[in-house]
Amino acid sequence: MTTPLATRGALVPRLAALSKVVELGPGRLDKKILSDAGTLLLRAGDRLKLSSDHTVVALAGGTGSGKSSLFNAVSGLELSPTGVRRPTTARTHACVWGLEGAAPLLDWLQIQWRHRFSRSSALDKGESQLHGLILLDLPDHDSIRALTDPEADRLIGLADLVVWVLDPQKYADAATHRRYVAELAGHDSGTVFALNQVDKLAPEELAELVIDLNDLLRREGVSQPTVVTTSAVTGRGIDSLKSVLADAVTRRRAAVQRLESDLDRLVRRLDPPGEAPASVDAARRVGLTDALCDAVGVPAVGEALENVHAERSAAYVGWPVTRLVSALRPDPLKALRLDDLREEIQGLADGAVTAQPAEVENAVQALADGLSVDMQPSWKAAVQHAARSRSGQLPQALSEELEEVAPRLGFVPGWWRAVQVWQYLLVAAFLLGFIWIVASLTGIPTGISLVEDPASLPWVGIAMASVLGLGALSSVAARNFVVLGASKERERLELEMRRRVGMVAEGMVVEPVERELARHHEFAQAMHTLRR
């Protein structure tokens, strides 16, 4: 991760993005990371609110490394008690160069009043470059006392700049490196290493040790370690340490830099949220509607409509004579003594439309799966949850919505009846002709001269044949009309059903999913800003 010039201006949008992440994160991010992020936000907010003219520098290190001696050497006063008993310092001491405005900062750091000291400006004529420095002498972090006292840990977390005070005996301790240095690796600006007690070493030993220390730090990921060799006893190196501190103080960027690097470290722990479309595209909507239509059985309903209409219309528009002939055939149901079943079977086809719950679930699941395939697991789960938030009611809702348009399979259109009347009329005409002929041939007196006229017989015969032909013809025509009408009706029905299914899906599936997708999108954007 590149660290461009650390400025407040660059930090603030990232912090805003972090707060967005924290806001959207619950349930999507690891609880620990989330709470760490919250802590960092609070700390950043506090620190940026407090004096930006001051730089908090903490002297940290193992017990006996000489933090207090170094503290006294830098401040030029015997402020922090030093000693040979280990551990010596149990409470943090602070020395402030330039007290004005520092009090709230010291309060925030929770430094006790009696442990605060200040270098008045009169005293440090030559130290104006240290103006704005708050130097903290921390308790150790590695003694048995520190196991129960998080003071050092807390302040190492809060300081703008940490000076690790190492000594020749303990410079490679796991307690320092594993817990802090390796953890802080990647941001070199916020850390300085002071190799103290060098008076105990011969020059060639010192050279060897410095090389070894540098190697060690590099192995841990500190690419350009700032190592200052000091001795509180002889005063060696104190000035170089001071100038390193002065540099940090005058640049006034340590606080922001520290926050930046903490932010970077936090971001490295965050999993990318994964890729996902920001909304449900048209193709997916159509896919969902198709799948739901299948669950309802829209095509099957249409087919049933056609078939049932064709079958039932026969009773009305069919040529009664053919029907009469087929009715005379023996009925298998009757043979089984199941006559009443016919009625029931007729009743079965009532045109009810329902949705199959399992298929509805699978359809919704498929949509969620398709959308969340590249998402991070927690987000994936969230999208699926959103998709299914109402899928329990979905089959019911679909059934209700489609009830209005369900095909009325038992419905008999008026023209069917008209055709029926026409057919019966034709039959009546045929019968009339039949009687006519019989009467004319048998000579039964009818009183109608025309009937008795044998010359009319051929004409009657012709008329009867035409009636028969007309009946058959109109039956065929009517059947065709029925099929035509049914297929039109089917088309209309299917379109209407699709529209309604789409509407229900939009409201009960797509909308909640899109809300979650928007949330994800927002989150991903915030993450992007955070990462830069």
Partner 1 sequence: MNTAADRTGGAAMDNEHPESPGEQTLNIRAVADGADGEVEENGSERDEPGDEAAVGEGASSGAPDAEEADAGDVDEGLGDSSGDAEPSDEPSGDSSEEFSDEPQVLDEAVPSAAEPDADADVVSAADVAHAADAVPAAAEAQLPDEAVQQLTAALGQLRESVSDLRFGLDLPGAEEARKARAELLAQLEDYVLPRVKVSTAPAMIVVAGSTGAGKSTLVNTLAEKNISRTGVRRPTTGTPVLACHPGDLPWFAEGDLLGGLKRLDKPSVEAGPDSIVLTATEKLPQGVALLDTPDIDSVVEEHHEIAHRMMDAADLWIFVTTATRYADAPAWQLLRLARERGVRLAIVLSRVQPRSRDTVLKHFVRMLTEYGLGDVERFVVEESKVSDGRLPDSEMTDLRLWLAELSVDGERRAQAVRQTLNGVLDSFRTRIPELARHMEGHVAFRGELRTDVEAAYMGAVTRIEESARNGSLLRGEVLARWQDFAGSGDLLRTVQLRGRPPKQLPERLMAFKAALRIGLESLIVSAASKASEEVAARWRRRSELGSTLVTGLERPSEDLVRRTNRAVSAWQEHVMELIRTEGVAKRSVSKVVSFDADALSLIFMVGLFGGQTDGVPQRLVKALLGAESLRGISLKSLSDLRARISMLFDEEAMRYVKVLDSAGIPDESAAARLYQATYNLEVAR
- Whether the CA torsion 134, 137, 141, 147 is positive or negative: it is negative
Closest CA to 419 of 461, 484, 487, 470: 470
Contact 386, 515 (CB under 8 A): yes
- For partner 1, the closer of residues 49 and 86 by Cβ is 86
- For partner 1, the closer of residues 5 and 352 by Cβ is 352
CA distance 186 to 394: 52
CB of residue 335 to partner 1, shortest distance in Å: 4
- For partner 1, the closer of residues 130 and 270 by Cβ is 270
CB of residue 224 to partner 1, shortest distance in Å: 19
Closest CA to 121 of 152, 142, 147, 100: 100
CB of residue 48 to partner 1, shortest distance in Å: 35
CB of residue 336 to partner 1, shortest distance in Å: 5
CB of residue 172 to partner 1, shortest distance in Å: 4
CB of residue 482 to partner 1, shortest distance in Å: 13
Closest CA to 293 of 361, 355, 369, 352: 355
**191-195: strand order across its sheet:** 116-119, 93-97, 133-137, 55-61, 161-166, 191-195, 227-229
- For partner 1, the closer of residues 50 and 317 by Cβ is 317
Cβ-proximal residues to 259 (8 Å cutoff; 6+ apart), any chain: 11, 15, 40, 43, 44, 47, 48
CB of residue 522 to partner 1, shortest distance in Å: 25
The H-assigned helical ranges of 328-413 are 332-335, 339-348, 357-372, 377-387, 394-403
- From the centroid of its chain, how far is CA 290? 24
CB of residue 115 to partner 1, shortest distance in Å: 21
- For partner 1, the closer of residues 171 and 416 by Cβ is 171
**How would you label 399-437 residue by residue, b for 16+ Cβ within 10 Å and e otherwise?**
eebbeebbbebeeebeebeebbebbeebbebbeebeebb
CA distance 370 to 284: 9
- For partner 1, the closer of residues 27 and 454 by Cβ is 27
- For partner 1, the closer of residues 64 and 132 by Cβ is 64
CB of residue 205 to partner 1, shortest distance in Å: 5
- For partner 1, the closer of residues 60 and 94 by Cβ is 60
Contact 527, 272 (CB under 8 A): yes
CB of residue 197 to partner 1, shortest distance in Å: 9
Contact 27, 519 (CB under 8 A): no
CB of residue 365 to partner 1, shortest distance in Å: 6
CB of residue 159 to partner 1, shortest distance in Å: 22
Closest CA to 227 of 140, 168, 174, 286: 168
Backbone angles phi, psi at 57, to 5 degrees: -115, 125
- For partner 1, the closer of residues 98 and 168 by Cβ is 168
Span between the terminal Cα atoms of the chain, in Å = 9
Cβ-proximal residues to 155 (8 Å cutoff; 6+ apart), any chain: 58, 60, 92, 109, 136, 138
- For partner 1, the closer of residues 317 and 526 by Cβ is 317
Closest CA to 164 of 131, 129, 188, 200: 188
- For partner 1, the closer of residues 208 and 491 by Cβ is 208
- For partner 1, the closer of residues 247 and 331 by Cβ is 331
Instruction: Give how far Cα 181 sits from Cα of 2, 26, 170, 389, 515, Å.
Output: 19, 30, 14, 47, 43
Cβ-proximal residues to 84 (8 Å cutoff; 6+ apart), any chain: none
- For partner 1, the closer of residues 327 and 455 by Cβ is 327
CB of residue 404 to partner 1, shortest distance in Å: 17
Contact 314, 479 (CB under 8 A): yes
Count how many Cα atoms sit within 13 Å of the Cα of residue 180 in the half-sphere of its side chain: 26
